[in-house]
Amino acid sequence: MQDKLTIKQKIFADEYLIDFNATRAYKIAYPSVKKEETAAQAGSRMLRNVKVKKYLEAKTKEFEKTAKVTKDQVLQEFVNIAFADITDLVEIKGSSVIVQDINAVPKELKRAIASVKETKYGLEIKFHDKVRALENLGRHLGMYVDKVEHSGNISNPILESINKQLMNRNKQNE
């Protein structure tokens, strides 16, 4: 059995590794597919393809070795962002906001900070996208399942025959 990917599968997999967006990757690999829904369903199926899965796993391991980054480290960063709390960085006293000395801020909280800039109203502190971090953690934990809905009638004569036999047997046993 051949374990090589087709050219289209390889394009899909390489594109998927950029941002983990199966819909976008599928549309790049198969540009004739224009409908978002079709690309989403096909992209989801492509991720379940054994050859594609093996390729993605191998590339991920290769990346971990060369970048010296592990899945656990990435997950920890998502946790840092998802559970960062602004009240660990600032204290509100009346109408004043007092920012902690940056040296006193835990490194986990520092990693959740996207930017700090001074405006005419004072300091503006922005955190990385908390909702996105929570979504990624939820996906990793299996909280979200890609759901594909099919409509239409599917006729399967074998199943219909088996169902009839079972119904007849049940009626005879009554």
Q: What tokens appear for 26 in the block? A: 């599928």
Q: Are residues 92 and 61 in the same domain?
A: no
Residues 23 and 43: beta-carbon distance below 8 Å: yes
**Residue 107 resides in a domain:** yes
Structural domain boundaries enclosing 92: 73-133
Q: Are residues 78 and 125 in the same domain?
A: yes
Phi, psi for 99 (deg, rounded to 5): -90, 135
Report the alpha-carbon distance of residue 74 to residue 124 in Å, rounded. 26
What does each of the 174 residues of the chain score in pLDDT, given as a tens digit? 457 999 999 999 999 998 889 999 999 999 999 999 999 999 999 999 999 999 999 998 888 788 787 888 889 999 999 999 999 999 889 988 888 888 889 999 999 999 989 999 888 999 999 999 999 888 888 887 665 555 656 566 676 767 677 777 777 766
Domain tally, the chain: 2
Q: What tokens appear for 86 in the block? A: 């602004």
Report the alpha-carbon distance of residue 36 to residue 85 in Å, rounded. 36
Q: What tokens appear for 173 in the block? A: 């046993």
Q: Are residues 58 and 77 in the same domain?
A: no
